[in-house]
Structure 1
């Protein structure tokens, strides 16, 4: 069985990573609303996951306003896949 990644154990971080897994990048406000958290909470999660190389963010403008886009890195995608595999193994042992 694979190991759970300690950086993905907080539920909001795992959900953030899974939201990013199906797309190339997502606007910060979409992530914030999808996670139902404040800007500051999401910023802390993004910063923590960026620090370990799982996410990257870029700033720009859209419709005349500043915005931030967030995406998974290759490392982040690999770690997420391994983490989900470990969760599946744990769940399978219950059945």
Structure 2
């Protein structure tokens, strides 16, 4: 597969580093609290909120709000579509780095 075709398989919604890192964090957990994600990514609340809005609009994550000890918390979960998109994006990145065609599974 030529490089142009590999680049076309990159997902522009996932490609920004903070979104890619967030989906990587979410890929191994059922959900993550907003503050934990913010701290692990090293971004501000507003930056994370903007990325979450984009990923939510794209159907890659779901947000759940809950009250814990009288404080409202936001929980982030990756959807099946988000997990599949992340897996495909990583495969395309690996193919681009190695010069081989990405797998289609």
Answer whether TM exceeds 0.5 for this pair: yes
1:58 is paired with a residue of what secondary structure?
strand
Taking the aligned partners of 1:20 and 1:62, their CA distance within structure 2 comes to 21
Partner of 2:59: 53
Partner of 2:71: 65
- Return the index of the structure with the highest Cα Rg: 2
**What pairs up with 1:1-95 in 2 under 5 angstroms?**
3-93=9-99
Taking the aligned partners of 2:24 and 2:35, their CA distance within structure 1 comes to 16
TM-score (structure 2 length as normaliser): 0.85
- Unaligned 5+ runs, structure 2: 101-105
Moved more, 57-66 or 44-53: 57-66
Taking the aligned partners of 1:12 and 1:4, their CA distance within structure 2 comes to 15
Q: Which has the higher helix share?
A: 1
Q: CA deviation at 1:91?
A: 1.1
Matched length: 94
Q: What's the Cα RMSD here?
A: 1.4
- Unaligned 5+ runs, structure 1: none
